[in-house]
Amino acid sequence: MKAFILDRYGKTTGLRMGDLPEPKVGEDDVLVQIHAASVNVLDSKIRNGDFKLILPYRLPLVLGNDLAGVVVRVGAKVRRFKPGDEVYAKTDSTRIGAFAEMIAINEDAVAHKPKTLSMEEAASLPLVALTAWQVLVERAKLKRGQKVLIHAGSGGVGTVAIQLAKHLGAFVATTTSAANADWVKRLGADVVIDYAKQDFEQVLQGYDVVLNSLGADVLEKSLSVLKPGGKLISISGPPDPAFANEIGASWLMRQMVRLLSHSIRTKAKRRGVNYSFLFMTPSGDQLRELGSLIDSGAIRPVIDQTFAFSSTNEAMAYVDKGRAKGKVVVKIR
């Protein structure tokens, strides 16, 4: 099968097109013929080597974290899927590889594709939709009438998180550029902060939840908009001790994580709020719930550009610019 392969880490490293054997299918796996995959900031960070300590991949490596396609074969213990099923999925972090023609995935990470979506639209959603769900529903337990600040509202996670938060009945504020203000309002944002002209921490107050996907300066400022007992949940770091324990990190790694997050955890405690880091995990069950919301129209995909499979490097370069409005997708079939 054809695949785009990473041979070495580096910010300027390109992927090469190559031939690889068809993936082996375990007894709990489904083999999926990939029709489309999305390109995420996570792919860039893995390529750059940012996660070498947390996710020690063996090179060469096929990148790609979410996809849509058709099941072509199932393992002996698989019961929920059969050949011919249209599916979408977020790969397990230890078995990525969606920039390829085929992939084997544990059935627990897979769900039937929402009926109302094309393959490209479905491929754009798993990683960002699961992230939004796990932050707002699982971690924050966001309730009707609560106030949530979602940073980078025009990005992949932001576009879905705004829609999900509105579906949950929350009051939503977001940060974005002036050019995207009307657009994110149409997605459901109640308050839009132009980050180039306004300091969000001077405008917003009394919020229950902040979803952070930006840098350390924004992270610290976000503490000031939360009311006592509020929750600051970051998907961009720093990782916290709870995360280190979840992944079974070594003693040395746990100490490093504790030091990295000490400052923000201490400042959060002083303000009477909670800080936590979330690294999204695959879940076919959650994708099924999200699929119902998608088919009902409560959440719709937002795609900035679609690239041909042969242009995967160009798609990666476009994501690296940080200007995508929604998601970037690679059409494989």
Pairing of strands 147-150, 171-176: parallel
Is 142 found in the same domain as 97? no
> Domain check: are 244 and 182 in the same one?
yes
Residues 159 and 77 in one domain: no
pLDDT of residue 280: 94
Rounded distance between C-alpha atoms, residue 34 and residue 98, angstroms: 7
- Asked whether residue 113 is assigned to any structural domain, the reply reads yes
Q: Are residues 109 and 9 in the same domain?
A: yes
For the record, the structure tokens of 66 come out as 């979410």
Residue 256 has a pLDDT of 86
Q: Give the model's confidence band at 249: pLDDT under 50 very low, under 70 low, under 90 confident, else very high.
A: confident
Print the domain residue range for 24.
2-125+301-331
CATH at 173: 3.40.50.720
- Given this model, what pLDDT does residue 286 score? 98
- The band of 283, judged by pLDDT with boundaries at 50, 70 and 90, is very high
**Average of per-residue pLDDT across 68-96:** 97
Inform me whether the pLDDT recorded for 135 exceeds 90: yes
Tokens of 310: 């042969």
pLDDT score for 253: 83
Q: Cβ(17)–Cβ(310) under 8 Å? A: yes
pLDDT band at 248 (very low <50, low <70, confident <90, very high): confident
Nearest Cα to Cα of residue 212 among 231, 195, 236, 188: 236
In a domain, 151, yes or no: yes
Strands, DSSP E only, in the chain? Answer: 2-6, 16-19, 29-39, 61-62, 66-74, 86-90, 102-106, 110-112, 147-150, 171-176, 191-194, 207-212, 226-234, 274-277, 303-308, 327-331
Using a CB cutoff of 8 Å and minimum separation of 24, what contacts does 56-60 make?
57/96, 59/6, 59/7, 59/8, 59/9, 60/5, 60/6, 60/7
Same domain as 179, residue 166 = yes
Please count the structural domains in the chain: 2
Check which CATH number belongs to the domain holding 79 and give it.
3.90.180.10
254 pLDDT above the threshold of 90:
no
- Residue 67 inside a domain? The answer is yes
Q: Do 139 and 263 fall into the same domain?
A: yes
* Mean of pLDDT values over 113-129: 98
Q: What is the mean pLDDT of the chain?
A: 96
**pLDDT > 90: percent of the chain:** 89
Judge if 142 and 110 occupy the same domain.
no
Q: What pLDDT score does 23 carry? A: 97
CA–CA separation, 196 and 204 (whole Å): 16
Q: Does 181 map to a domain? A: yes
Mean pLDDT of 132-152: 98
Same domain for 263 and 308, yes or no, is no
Q: Do the domain assignments include residue 288? A: no
In a domain, 154, yes or no: yes
Examine residue 219 and state whether it is found in any structural domain, yes or no.
Answer: yes
Query: Do 50 and 179 fall into the same domain?
Result: no
Same domain, 246 and 265: yes
- pLDDT digit string (tens) for 33-67? 999 999 999 999 999 998 887 778 999 999 999 99
- The per-residue pLDDT for range 235-247, each reduced to its tens digit, is 998 988 888 888 7
What are 169-221's pLDDT values in tens digits? 999 999 999 999 999 999 999 999 999 999 999 999 999 999 999 999 999 99
Residues 117 and 142 in one domain: no
pLDDT of residue 19: 97
> What pLDDT shows up at residue 63?
97
